[in-house]
Structure 1
Amino acid sequence: MFEPRPTSTYGPSPVGLAGITAPPDLTTAPEPHSASLRHALADRYSLPPEAFVVGADTAILLHHLVARAAASGGGETVYSEPSCHLYRSLTVDYGLIGRAVPLRDYRHDLSGLVGAVSGRTRIVLVDSPHNITGATTPLSDLVALAQVVPDRAVVMLDNVYGEFQDDDEFDRWFRDLVERRVPIIVCRSLSKTRRLFGRRAGYMIGAPAVLGALGPILLHYDIGTLTQVAAQASLAGHATFEANRHVVIEGRQRLAAVLDEAGIPFAPSESTSILLDAGPAASQLAYRLSSAGCGLRSPSTGGVPAGHIQLFIDSADTPARVARVLAEWQEPQ
């Protein structure tokens, strides 16, 4: 079906929305294990359907993954700090022991992560692009990390912002990962580029043998019919997908230029946000940016390093808003 080119706004796919305007019979059970959606993902990545597990969102999938590790006799998780807050909280909630490795220059410390792996490690959690800094981890580092985990342990690559990276290197790599049965499981989301945040859907990619070794992760009917239909339809919305990527990637480049011109240091990012170093004035600047309608996280909201602000590219005019705030903020008093 022809899809009109959407405007460069950050929004859902018209194809995805059309998929639920005439919803199917909701009196019957959803399709078990989201079979049709898994086949659509298989076509998207040129992989077998068995290489996918679909869940309500990536956070739910992570819950199941950590719960399976705990049920198999406990053990340890390894992750960087700071990272996604769920890594620490789920580790504690499910009675596992967490080994946190500090970031180095805004990036994962590969040697530190490798050194934290032990015979009791069950999951190594790596977010790339990083949840806070937006930094990415080279594929060679991830493979090297996977080579040191014990049997029946996995590296969980949290790649929910991966479709906003500058290239599609990861997409090509997924097929090699599955074919070689590398013990890496990739988590991706349909809430980001597809903009289906209200119909929560995420998926894991991995070699069928690796996924199978984890045991049953989800039940038959964990994903409702409307979510399955909307998610599957959105995969056909290529124009909207590319437009949403364009808004973020171009916005990221423009925002980096604004920060450069203002002389404010920041971490290189391939995500939907940029982490800037505002020093002692971080709280004051965060207040001004927030008042101007900019989406952000500051140290007071948790996870963000002291003196820093995590700025989100949540619309095409984000760089212009930031530029106006910085111009006023830096005016001589």
Structure 2
Amino acid sequence: MPDEITPRFRSMLDRFVAFKAAKVATSPDGRSFGLASNESPNGPLPSVLEAINQAALQANRYPDFNCTALIEAISATFKVPAEHVAVGCGSVGVTKMLVEAVAEPGTEVLFAWRSFEVYPVLVGLTGATAVTVPLKDERHDLEAMADAVTERTRLILICNPNNPTGTVVGRAEFEAFLDRVPADCLVVLDEAYGEYVRDDDVADGLELYRDRPNLVVLRTFSKAYGLASLRAGFMVAHPVVAEAARKTALSFAVNGVVQAAAVASLAATDELLARVADTVKERERVRDTLLSCDWTVPSSEANFLWLPLGEPTAEFAAACEAQGVAVRAFPDEGVRVSIGSPDENDAFLAVARAFTTGRRA
């Protein structure tokens, strides 16, 4: 029998590392506490659920290709022109649209590391070169990032707050960074966790982009708005950038149900932000408790905390998993734990207390 012939694939797949979703953890008594994916612990509000139900009745019809009602709602809520808005399948989908619009073999995309896990995945698929700059004290080192820009740099990704460390970039340092970036290089400020920020000094992309034609701001409905399963995100940028991104969008990627849910969510912003305030309170409670147990925990402006454990990372993640607590582990670096409901957070804290006590014994 002749040697098996297989289809020919892109050579870059031989060195490509795909994104891996977090595992579900189950304790011996059947409990599961999902604190690995930065989800909201709250389900949709009643008004949003009603919009979802009504939209589902039209599932046999294609959605509005242009997402007209959603873009109009975003425009009104955030006080930006509609032509400055493009939507996609979560902020990841919008990032993919932007990367595909500017990156190609021979070009570079720059981002900090460690940062959002999907960045190297999206860049790798384009054939562009990913250039990473190490974090400094768990924060973006903007001076080093500016130094790393070359004539081949097409795109710079800045996650603010940063995933997984939760740290932020201040307005003054970000503006100084923008002043050093060439005007033809696109800078993407990923504000997926922006609703959880309480530090008034943090750079606000929606304020800064108006005078910066090469600045793009990303937001999502997956986190604070609690629509992670439905997948909707958007970008705000000058029209030439928004139009270029739309050209790379997958047709009908934002389905009719999520369009209706996102519009309803924007109409219920006050209610949703009250839930966000509860998460912020829990974030501070969990961090204060960890600090009191001698954990090192950087201040976070997101809906998660970062534990820079180093070598014991796998051991601690295993201890969490044994008790049904799912966390996101980055081998030999640290653990990211999402802020869930008080009961979920207490389950995590019980493991954290037991872990530190066991290591002292």
* TM interval, short-chain normalised: 0.7 to 0.9
Q: Is the 8 A contact 1:58 1:202 kept in 2?
A: yes
Whole-Å Cα distance in 2 between the matches of residues 26 and 10 of structure 1? 25
Q: Is the 8 A contact 2:169 2:203 kept in 1?
A: no
Residue in 1 that maps onto 2:117 = 85
Which of 194, 197, 205 is the aligned partner of 2:225?
Answer: 194
Residue in 2 that maps onto 1:67 = 100
Partner AA of 2:335 in structure 1: I
Residue in 1 that maps onto 2:10 = none
Alignment of 1:61-210 (within 5 A): 61-70=94-103, 74-166=106-198, 174-178=206-210, 180-210=211-241
Whole-Å Cα distance in 2 between the matches of residues 249 and 28 of structure 1? 39
- Greater Cα shift, 59-68 or 207-216: 207-216
Residue in 2 that maps onto 1:30 = 63
Q: Confirm whether residue 314 of structure 1 aligns to residue 340 of structure 2.
A: yes
Residue in 1 that maps onto 2:284 = 253
Which of 20, 25, 48 is the aligned partner of 2:52?
Answer: 20
1:200-257 Cα offsets, whole Å, 9 max, x none, are: 1000011224434667343663322112111111111234412331232111100111
Whole-Å Cα distance in 2 between the matches of residues 111 and 201 of structure 1? 33
Give how far 1:68 is off. 1.1
Secondary structure in 2 aligned to 1:268? Answer: coil
Mark the runs of 5 or more structure 1 residues left unpaired by the alignment: 1-7, 301-305
Partner AA of 2:252 in structure 1: Y
Residue in 2 that maps onto 1:303 = none
Q: Is the 8 A contact 2:196 2:280 kept in 1?
A: yes
Give how far 1:147 is off. 2.7
Whole-Å Cα distance in 1 between the matches of residues 241 and 164 of structure 2? 28
The TM-score with structure 2 as length reference comes to 0.80
Q: Is the 8 A contact 1:55 1:201 kept in 2?
A: yes
Secondary structure in 2 aligned to 1:50? Answer: helix
Partner AA of 1:80 in structure 2: A
Whole-Å Cα distance in 1 between the matches of residues 342 and 173 of structure 2? 33
Give how far 1:35 is off. 1.1
Q: 1:104 and 1:236, CA in 2 relative to 1: closer, same or farther beyond 3 A? A: same
Q: 1:277 and 1:220, CA in 2 relative to 1: closer, same or farther beyond 3 A? A: closer
Give how far 1:170 is off. 6.6
Q: 1:151 and 1:280, CA in 2 relative to 1: closer, same or farther beyond 3 A? A: closer
Give the aligned CA root-mean-square deviation in angstroms.
2.5
Whole-Å Cα distance in 2 between the matches of residues 291 and 239 of structure 1? 38
Whole-Å Cα distance in 2 between the matches of residues 275 and 74 of structure 1? 35
Secondary structure in 2 aligned to 1:136? Answer: coil
Q: 1:146 and 1:211, CA in 2 relative to 1: closer, same or farther beyond 3 A? A: farther
Q: 1:232 and 1:53, CA in 2 relative to 1: closer, same or farther beyond 3 A? A: same
Give how far 1:74 is off. 4.8
* Percent sequence identity over aligned pairs: 27
Give how far 1:148 is off. 2.9
Q: Confirm whether residue 263 of structure 1 aligns to residue 306 of structure 2.
A: no
The TM-score with structure 1 as length reference comes to 0.87
Q: Is the 8 A contact 1:33 1:219 kept in 2?
A: no
Which of 323, 327, 330 is the aligned partner of 2:353?
Answer: 327
State how many pairs are aligned.
319
Whole-Å Cα distance in 2 between the matches of residues 152 and 212 of structure 1? 16
